[in-house]
Amino acid sequence: MGFVRHREIQRLGPNMIIRPNAGALDRDEVDVDEPGERRRRMVVVGALGMLGHRVADVARVHGWDVVAIDRPEIDITDLHGTTLTLERLSPTVVVNCAAFTDVDGAEEQEDAALAVNGAGAGNLARATAALGVRIVHVSTDYVLPGDATEPYAEDAVPGPTNAYGRTKLVGEQEVAEHNPDHLICRTAWLFGAGGPNFIDTMVRLADDRDEVTVVDDQTGSPTWTGHLAPALVRAAGSDARGIAHTVGAGQVTWRGLAAETFTLIGSDTVATPVTSDAFPRPAPRPAWSVLASTRSDVPRLPDWREGVKAHLAEVGRLREAA
């Protein structure tokens, strides 16, 4: 059928796996319940992405029967085709990691972004509801206005400031409206192996420069895919519904994140603070992207610093003494 092939994974213990092609430990900091006698099937949509492939890997290690799927095998903008595909795969839960993630590009291509982030998410919700299947949908801090001074709780009033955020908010609304058995997991400042991310960019720049200017007036909750993926797997097997915030604990500015990265790789590169005005972008970024995880029925992620350290270890850039 052309689905992404199941990759072999070695389990070393209850909270460790070796990921293929990485040769690094993936330490699951969040306990994931083992399945019972009845084998559960998870369909991961958007499985070729930085988060999706990790969700699929973690789910397999913890006993799920996983189908990892992406374009062209599934087109979530097509409701009929999506429903037929899911009916054939017969999942017990769908985890939607698919998204139009070009934040600046969405300013000029909002219709294209809306087709995936809004209508596409809605189509998955309709299809799963028709089949009696649970859906876990990944969303973003960008649905919030970014003008707060305290971490946003799950019941904060949305107010996106750019096209990407608007399309993701439509997706949240569509999922909530069309499938009552849903969990919307907002995350922020995502980084991990298998995709471009801020941490890897800073490592690359540190190899060539003595100084890097970095925005210091935007604050958020950096989140490692190695922490988020097991949390999503656990949430998929739970009864939790509604909106959850699944982000690295704590907060930091982009400059602070860069400085921590330089320290952990043993670089003398200096992260010099600048304001957002120094880097004009088509899409405005929220000044405040700190999310609070207040729910007791959804896993809370470790501190963002632990995620940065684990990621650098995985990609072979953590200095030995760190």
Catalytic residue among 164, 224, 262, 288: 164
Residue 164 among the catalytic residues: yes
Rounded Cα distance, 152 and 253, in Å: 16
What's residue 321's pLDDT? Answer: 66
Residue among 266, 291, 287 nearest 277 (CA): 287
Token couple for 10: 């070695």
Residue type at position 189? W
Low-confidence ranges of the chain (pLDDT < 70): 1-39, 321-322
What's residue 320's pLDDT? Answer: 79
Q: Residues 120-141: pLDDT tens digits?
A: 999 999 999 999 999 999 999 9
Q: Do residues 91 and 42 make contact, with C-beta atoms less than 8 angstroms apart?
A: yes
What's residue 14's pLDDT? Answer: 30
What's residue 322's pLDDT? Answer: 52
Upstream peptide bond of 35 is cis (omega within 30 degrees of 0): no
Tell me the pTM.
0.88
Rounded Cα distance, 134 and 92, in Å: 7
Hey, what domains does the chain have and what are their CATH numbers?
A: 10-195+222-249+291-302 (3.40.50.720)
What's residue 33's pLDDT? Answer: 44
CA count, 13 A, side-chain hemisphere, 242: 12
User: What ranges make up the beta strands (E) of 188-274?
Assistant: 190-191, 211-215, 219-220, 223-224, 242-245, 252-253, 270-274
What's residue 39's pLDDT? Answer: 65
**Three-state helix/strand/coil letters over 49-111:** CCCHHHHHHHHHHCCCEEEEECCCCCCCCCHHHHHHHHHHHCCCEEEECCCCCCCCHHHHCHH
Q: Do residues 98 and 76 make contact, with C-beta atoms less than 8 angstroms apart?
A: yes
What's residue 37's pLDDT? Answer: 40
What's residue 23's pLDDT? Answer: 34
Residue type at position 188? A
